[in-house]
Amino acid sequence: MDTPGLATPEEVEHAFYVAFQAADLAAMMQVWADDDAVACIHPLGPRLQGRAAVEQGWREMFQAGTPLRFEVVQSQRTHGQLLAVHCVRELIYFGPQLRRRTEILATNVYRKTPDGWRMLLHHGSPVEASEVSGADQGTLH
Amino acid sequence: MDTPGLATPEEVEHAFYVAFQAADLAAMMQVWADDDAVACIHPLGPRLQGRAAVEQGWREMFQAGTPLRFEVVQSQRTHGQLLAVHCVRELIYFGPQLRRRTEILATNVYRKTPDGWRMLLHHGSPVEASEVSGADQGTLH
């Protein structure tokens, strides 16, 4: 039976960013597949492979205690029967009054499991300031 | 009928890195799905969405004419019926005598089409020097 709140890739993605913003490690790990194929690449970081490494990565990030606010912009979704791939832009606000902003491009992959969908891969990477694009960004260069 | 050399995600990935190393734009674009859902994120670059933008990105990169040699290390493959996700480490040699090396982590997504598999997404991102792990790494710079 599908876990409530984790029945579709969209629900899993929502839960992922809620847990990320709340720095809630238990909620974060519920989002991930119970599978050592899971992997997480934080911006400029190494590839964290397997649940233990993924969990340790989030633990360290959450312990840093930096308040963040997320705005997630969907760029592209492609769904198969067993896998779904979402590409998103994460606009992350931080610093005093959460007024500074950075942009991360993320590829999120979800896998269908007997209990609903779960995250299999999160790959986030920074965009160089001069390369940031988008209608809300001003000019490309 | 499957296009020879592009019948499986593995064949498409091989063709992708052969075209990349050869800076062969025509061969590169044969690898990609004929679909505006295709997207490419070069390291620290913006998201290039759609065939025209993806092609222009490769054209600019190949025109730069920097000789590169690739060593591609598979980290993880997950195949569904319609989508396949490969995570790889790209060890890229460049500079005089191709002796300098950098490492890129890439997520490559393939989609099944009537003509075989094709690339749907390439997301590459750098790893900070201090974060590189693995016994075969030596030094990044």
pLDDT digits (tens, 9 = 90+) for B113-130: 999 999 999 999 999 865
Scanning the structure block, which residue is given the tokens 């340790």? A56
Residue A82 has its nearest CB partner, among B81, B111, B120, at: B81
Facing residue for A107 by CB, picked from B44, B46, B107? B107
Average pLDDT of chain A is: 90
Q: Residue range B34-59: average pLDDT? A: 96
Residues on chain B bordering chain A, Cβ-to-Cβ distance under 8 angstroms: 37, 39, 41, 43-47, 49, 75-76, 78, 80-85, 87, 89, 105, 107, 109, 111, 120-121, 123-128, 131-133
Output the pLDDT for position B136.
42
Q: Are B44 and A126 in contact (CB under 8 A)?
A: yes
Q: What is the pTM of this model?
A: 0.89
Name the residue of chain A whose CA is nearest to B37's CA. Answer: A76
**Could you tell me which chain B residue has the CA closest to the CA of A108?**
B107
Q: Are B80 and B89 in contact (CB under 8 A)?
A: no
Taking the C-alpha atoms of residue B86 and residue B84, their distance in angstroms, rounded to an integer, is 7
Query: Tokens at residue B1, please?
Result: 């009928």
**A92-104, pLDDT tens digit by residue?**
999 889 999 999 9
Is the confidence at residue B102, as pLDDT, over 80? yes
Mean pLDDT of chain B: 90
A26 or B138, greater pLDDT:
A26
Q: Is A76's pLDDT higher than 60?
A: yes
Q: Of A76-80, B17-21, B124-128, B135-139, which range is least confident?
A: B135-139
- B86 CA to centre of own chain: 10
In terms of DSSP bridges, do strands B100-113 and B116-126 run parallel, antiparallel, or are they unpaired?
Answer: antiparallel
Residue bearing the bigger pLDDT, B129 or A85: A85
Query: How many CB atoms neighbour CB B66 within 10 A?
Result: 11
Closest partner CB to A81 (pick from B49, B82, B124)? B82
Confidence band, pLDDT 50/70/90 cuts, at residue A139:
very low
Nearest-CB residue to A125 (from B41, B75, B111): B41
Question: Is B45 close to A126, i.e. CB distance below 8 A?
Answer: no
Instruction: Kindly determine whether residue B76 and residue A39, on different chains, have CB atoms separated by under 8 Å.
Output: yes
CA distance A129 to A101: 11
Q: Tell the residue number behind the tokens 């490769």, with chain if given.
A: B58
Contacts of residue A111 in chain B, CB cutoff 8 Å? 78
Does the distance separating the beta carbons of B82 and A80 come in below 8 Å?
yes
Contact: B87, A45; criterion CB under 8 Å = no
Q: For residue B49, which amino acid is it?
A: Q
Q: Which run of H or of E encompasses B55? A: helix B51-64
- Best residue in B36, B44, B75 for a mutation probing chain A (most A CBs within 10 Å): B44
Q: Which two tokens stand for residue B119?
A: 């690339």
- Give the three-class secondary structure for A60: helix
